[in-house]
Structure 1
Amino acid sequence: MVAAYPRKRTAFLLVDPFNDFLSEGGKVYPRLKPIADEVGLLDNLRRLNGAVRAADIQVAIVPHRRWEPGDYEDWDHPNPTQQRIMHQHQFARGEWGGEWHPDFAPKPGDIVAQEHWGQSGFANTDLDMRLKQKGITHVIVAGLLANTCIDTTARYAMELGYHVTLVRDATAAFSHELMHAAHELSAPTFAHAILTTAEVIAALQEAQG
């Protein structure tokens, strides 16, 4: 069943819309490109972003920590992703790769959450507080990566009491196996809805009357 999305209580969480992930020449983009092209990631994100804005849905940008010199180097146990960022300087602050993809840069009125160090956009950030101050109860989660920051942010949202929707073709991962694990194995244990971009847009249009 497609969920209903009350306009004043719904937010679109766009996770990690950086050039390194989404743009030709990005440090991570080559690993994502096969799956991204297959699902139509960029076009679906553009359609979804346009539709939520047309519906006057709150947009929240949920960014990963932008790498800076010294990050993670003195940590007791950085996780594998953090170690990769440390060595490859992904999403580097002040560099093109750490800038917003031009189609998904924040606009006036958007929430731009504090940067997350791990895989949850909620853990150790101000995202929950800022959504609660807007009266948000429903979140639509899209962006990257399906099996890490999307899965973890969405799962954490459920733990905090939000109604959670995942958009299966507005995300990507490094393999079909990881996409399958995210959408067919993990998400059904916590998400209230797992929809396509077209289904989310139809639900938003229906909510508008």
Structure 2
Amino acid sequence: MVTALDKNTALVLIDLQRAIVQMPVVDPISGVLTNAGQLLAAFRRAGLPVVLVTVDPANRPDLRNDAQRPSRTVFPPEALALTPEIEPVPDDIRITKHSWGAFYDTGLEEALRQRGVTGIVLAGVSTSIGVESTARAANERGYNLTFAQDAMTDMVASAQENSLRVIFPRIGEVDTTANIIRVLEGGRG
């Protein structure tokens, strides 16, 4: 349950782009996108930073040094675009990542520090990969974390369950979109 949000909290939405949301997921993607859109609107009303992260795996760094390098996925340009429900505005921070986490080899940390961000609300696809990798890196950097459990989904039910029930409660607070927005707007969770 969300108890509080930092005065300088950013919304970070992970991989809500056309290629990713078309993958088979545990929860209906329409509900995830609706809830992410509600968070987006609430953060914009509050004048707080919004970070829209997309992945372009074609430029993934070669992190392995053995013969087991995974093949690169190449998305056509239209597949890299955000979904229509997540329409960017000029003030949004746009990050393109090339690996699982949004902090690795991107300008995300610098962009957040420049804005004095101390807390992050995370949502997106997939819970156990992009969201969890970003969350772990954010936790290591000292950000206070809140997870919008109904604004994220995964391709594997047990992986999502592990993230939501085991990992995320150890590093932040997990709650619904409605409760996060209520706290954001000055109410109680």
1:119 maps to amino acid: W
Q: 2:82 aligns with which of 80, 100, 118?
A: 100
1:45 is the counterpart of 2:36? yes
TM-score after normalising by structure 2: 0.87
1:164 maps to amino acid: L
Deviation beyond 3 Å, 4+ runs, structure 1: 75-80
More strand per residue: 2
Which ranges of structure 1 fall in alignment gaps of 5 or more residues? none
Match of 1:4 in 2: 4
1:204 is the counterpart of 2:184? yes
User: Aligned pair in 2 of structure 1 residues 77, 183: CA closer, same or farther (>3 Å)?
Assistant: farther
1:1-209 superposed matches below 5 A: 2-7=2-7, 9-22=8-21, 26=22, 28=23, 31-32=24-25, 35-37=26-28, 40-65=31-56, 67=58, 76=65, 83=71, 86-87=72-73, 89=74, 92-94=75-77, 96-113=78-95, 115-191=96-172, 193-206=173-186
Q: Give, in whole Å, the separation in 2 of the partners of 1:103 and 1:78.
A: 40
User: Aligned pair in 2 of structure 1 residues 123, 177: CA closer, same or farther (>3 Å)?
Assistant: same
RMSD across aligned positions (CA): 2.6
Q: Give, in whole Å, the separation in 1 of the partners of 2:156 and 2:180.
A: 24
Which ranges of structure 2 fall in alignment gaps of 5 or more residues? none
User: Aligned pair in 2 of structure 1 residues 203, 118: CA closer, same or farther (>3 Å)?
Assistant: same
TM-score after normalising by structure 1: 0.79
Once the two structures are superposed, residues 107-139 of structure 1 have per-residue CA deviations (whole angstroms, 9 ceiling, x without a partner) of: 1111112x2222110011110011000010011
